[in-house]
Chains A and B, each alone.
Chain A
């Protein structure tokens, strides 16, 4: 006898979104979360007394607007504050700013290159069109091109129609975005090194590729897909940190009747006669349900929770080959005062935006060179934000929190991760920041250093990959995570996936959770 209609394993944002949609459709749903709080990697925590951090993921933009609408998230406490700018300090003491104000942005770009200032608007328009062209694909279960089922054939025809409808210029631009390197793609548009580097940085996030490697241009588009209140390409903070996103979704799920249990780590998916019938918790409790949905990443789901013995060999092998290779880490700082950047002294508006340490493509490429041979980048790419500038509740009065996203930090570091190595990585990050903001060292009250190994240990994502598996072309769309199994169902009857390891991937989008819920509801109809 089933206790629930559906069990959702993992209370990250995708698990919660999936649970909320299932509950909204009248299903009895239980979410099982291993940790004491929900949110997974979208989580806020008071790490040091008085200082709150978005410990892992730290900005919002890609969260699908239909989810915000369907689940009425603002009513459940989601409040997004816009992030206004990106400033890239340069080696020569100057900086490159990208501002949300169009005229200011143009003037700033023109200071570096008149040509780039001219090209910028056209580039933005094209990327906007591209993002719009790709967007419908985000909310669909990818059709299987090798299947003869009418639904798949129809899906392929729909895709072909949509692509052909783009017209020559946009179709070819999309082809380029899917196959080129970020550096080459941007080379066709711009000449200012820092501009190309800062933009290409979004192409390397979460991958184990350098900006000159084909395949990185797409991730650039992935990051253009965000919208806040209908404004494309806008990034923002969730008030209270990214945990507020998860909290709001959890509240919505509960309101629709979903049950959420924390401190409930799942040991195994219960499989009887080839069918998933529930879960066994680590404490031995068995919970039965008509179906099980895993928001854990594919490797954890299939190799650990299910076990290869329940899977076809080919499928198990494909899961083993699914690439994770976490490449990024975080350093979270509690500060006694604001950092003072040499290129823009004082507490200017730039501190309300992102500071990007990405002076040139070569800089990023060298950072990658270190990582590919198993070392942390000596001088890494960094994306720095100071959430307390926008949301003062994050830190005690007069004090600040700083979040530093760092890449490349390989999961498989030579000699393995140790405490000493983690601290050395933290030191390297601080040293590099100090080159641009010399007062940083004396301003640090506390620091938290997070490596991919820590992400794996704390959040449970294999190899600490922030997207639950690299966003490389061969792991996207109908190939994510395994060809033939991209529609959220799995080879085990009654078992579904809803995590970022499924189409369309990570970035706190929630699309995987929503798409999975739709697929489940469709199948149970």
Chain B
């Protein structure tokens, strides 16, 4: 069958290659040179095996230490992949926390494992009446029961909690809590005291080894791009053609028409259904639900070119949970935080050339007192450079140039709605069978042959989402034969 996949991100490519391997003729539409997504890191084992990515040169990079943070007096705290080594570091701050560390890592790993299982398949449907669906539900329930009381209680109790409450129950060191808390608010329009941030923390922990609370980086996008077996067209779709309730093809930005009875979109579902399709095709309830998807962007990306190695792998500036909370307060009222959470990751590009990729949060999509312009972007870059320089003296002098992408820029450049890279914010009410809205949670739309496979879909983890979407599509195709 002829299939069109819209998008050039990891999920689009995983979907495309999975369909192609099943014998379908797949064309991918989208600009090849899009910038790397910030989370091209961990990739589900199933995806690696199915597409044989290791043989094609996949490399996953886990910085070690995975994070470091400045301590008062110029010293640094570094946390390593090795749990015992991290515990030794933490002992500098608190013997009690060092003692807690291995147990904490193990408990978090257990819960992330449950999530990983749930993420490796299309979301369970709690309302299903089909025998297969009921079996799936029973299997999920059984799996949860098999965890034993401790992990099961953790799983049920921790997800709705705030990360502040979770960490306060385990640790006393502000620095440690700040570093861990930062992962819990990553790309989220919430502060560490908000409910549900513990879930975001665990969500981002999925796929990481025990004791590592930052995501990996990998070249997966490049590897997928180089894989043979699909056709690629450097065009964007302007319209999806629908007739008699079924998809018929796509009209390109140049006006050319491509016929296909299977179209899979990796873009933001709102844009896909409301802009590319005729909204008249859909139920008003669905339209309302689509408009209510929360996708608030809260982070800017600053890229700095450096004259030399900055002396850190990953440097996080989130000294306390209150620091994160105050940064969030600013953004609640439409201000870019004056003392944001900053996380800089070093990348050596080639001989002697270096870059720092900086995550800056909280930076709102819309400012209450004006709009994002170059002056404001430069101001943000200056702030970031100055803050890093305080923690790593001499850093500012090594900066050769900067580029800033605010949430508004990210929307424009990469199609992130309001600058939110997950398209639909990671939150308990937008996960599993609710992601992004219940009507679309199975990757299908009400238009026959039109599917969704982007980050807004379950589970929102690059690669895993595409693989789930492809499995649903292939199952549907088999059924209709």
Contact = CB atoms under 8 A, between A and B. Distances in A.
A484 B190 contact: no
Contact of A184 (B126, B294, B438): B294
Contacts of A163: 126
Given A163-B126, A168-B127, A171-B127, A484 B194 contact: no
Interface string A315-330: 0000001010000000
A179 B428 contact: yes
A511 to B, nearest CB: 22
B161 interface: yes
Given A179-B428, A369-B329, A214 B194 contact: yes
Given A175-B429, A321-B169, A323-B165, A483 B193 contact: no
Interface stretch (B35-43, B149-157, B206-214, B356-364): B149-157
A215 B127 contact: no
Contacts of A178: 160
A179 B157 contact: no
Given A188-B292, A479-B157, A213 B429 contact: no
Given A213-B195, A472-B160, A483 B153 contact: yes
A507 to B, nearest CB: 19
A362 B331 CA distance: 12
Contacts of B396: none
Given A213-B193, A473-B195, A146 B160 contact: no
Given A146-B145, A146-B153, A168-B438, A179 B427 contact: yes
Given A321-B169, A369-B329, A214 B190 contact: yes
A176 B193 CA distance: 20
A484 B160 contact: no
A170 B72 CA distance: 52
Size category, B interface:
35 or more
A369 B322 CA distance: 11
B196 A172 contact: no
A386 B322 CA distance: 39
A472 B427 CA distance: 16
B332 interface: yes
Interface residues of A, number: 38
Contact of A146 (B149, B159, B193, B438): B149
B268 interface: no
A484 B126 contact: no
Interface in B156-197: 156-162, 165, 169, 190, 193-196
Contact of A175 (B144, B196, B434): B434
A209 interface: yes
Nearest to B157: A474
Given A175-B434, A484-B149, A474 B428 contact: no
B325 interface: yes
Contacts of A168: 127, 438
A36 to B, nearest CB: 37
Main SS at interface, chain B: helix
Contacts of A176: 429, 434
A483 B154 CA distance: 9
Nearest to B149: A146
B125 to A, nearest CB: 10
Interface string B120-149: 000000110000000000000000110011
Nearest to A167: B127
B156 A214 contact: no
Interface in B414-443: 427-429, 433-434, 438
B258 to A, nearest CB: 35
Interface in A457-503: 472-474, 478-479, 483-484
Contacts of B329: 369
Interface string A192-227: 000000000000000001101111100000000000
A115 interface: no
A505 B165 CA distance: 20
A22 to B, nearest CB: 30
Contacts of B288: 188
Contacts of A373: 322
A180 interface: yes
Contacts of A146: 145, 148-149, 152-153
- Determine which residue in A172, A176, A210 has the highest number of CB atoms from chain B within 10 A of its CB, and name it: A172
A151 interface: no
Given A172-B438, A214-B428, A215-B160, A372 B193 contact: yes
Contacts of B162: 209, 213
B158 A474 contact: yes
A321 B162 CA distance: 13
Main SS at interface, chain A: helix
A365 interface: yes
A215 B195 contact: yes
Contacts of B149: 146, 483-484
B195 A164 contact: no
A145 interface: yes
Nearest to A368: B193
B195 A216 contact: yes
B152 to A, nearest CB: 5
- Determine which residue in A369, A474, A484 has the highest number of CB atoms from chain B within 10 A of its CB, and name it: A474
A365 B332 contact: yes
B196 A164 contact: no
A323 B434 CA distance: 29
Nearest to A320: B169
Contacts of B157: 474, 479, 483
Nearest to B193: A372
Contacts of B153: 146, 479, 483-484
Contacts of B194: 181, 209-210, 212-214
A438 to B, nearest CB: 29
Nearest to A148: B145
Contacts of A474: 157-161, 165
A484 B434 CA distance: 28
B437 to A, nearest CB: 9
A250 to B, nearest CB: 36
Nearest to A165: B127
Contacts of B152: 145-146
Contacts of A180: 427, 429
B318 to A, nearest CB: 17
Contact of B333 (A175, A209, A362, A472): A362
A163 B195 CA distance: 23
B366 to A, nearest CB: 15
A176 B294 CA distance: 12
Contact of A479 (B148, B156, B294): B156
Contacts of B427: 179-180, 214
Nearest to B429: A179
A338 B295 CA distance: 47
Nearest to B431: A179
Contacts of A369: 329
B144 to A, nearest CB: 8
Nearest to A156: B141
Nearest to B194: A213
A239 B353 CA distance: 79
Contacts of A145: 144-145, 152, 156
A212 B191 CA distance: 10
A483 B156 contact: yes
B429 A164 contact: no
Nearest to B144: A145
Given A209-B194, A214-B195, A474-B165, 10 more contacts: A164-B127, A212-B190, A214-B190, A214-B194, A323-B165, A369-B329, A372-B325, A474-B160, A483-B157, A484-B153
19 contacts: A145-B144, A145-B152, A146-B145, A146-B152, A163-B126, A172-B438, A175-B433, A176-B429, A178-B160, A181-B194, A212-B194, A213-B193, A214-B428, A215-B195, A362-B333, A474-B160, A474-B165, A478-B156, A483-B156
Interface of B: 126-127, 144-145, 148-149, 152-153, 156-162, 165, 169, 190, 193-196, 288, 292, 294, 322, 325, 329, 332-333, 427-429, 433-434, 438
Top 7 closest A-B pairs, CB basis? A215-B195, A473-B160, A214-B196, A179-B428, A483-B153, A213-B194, A179-B429
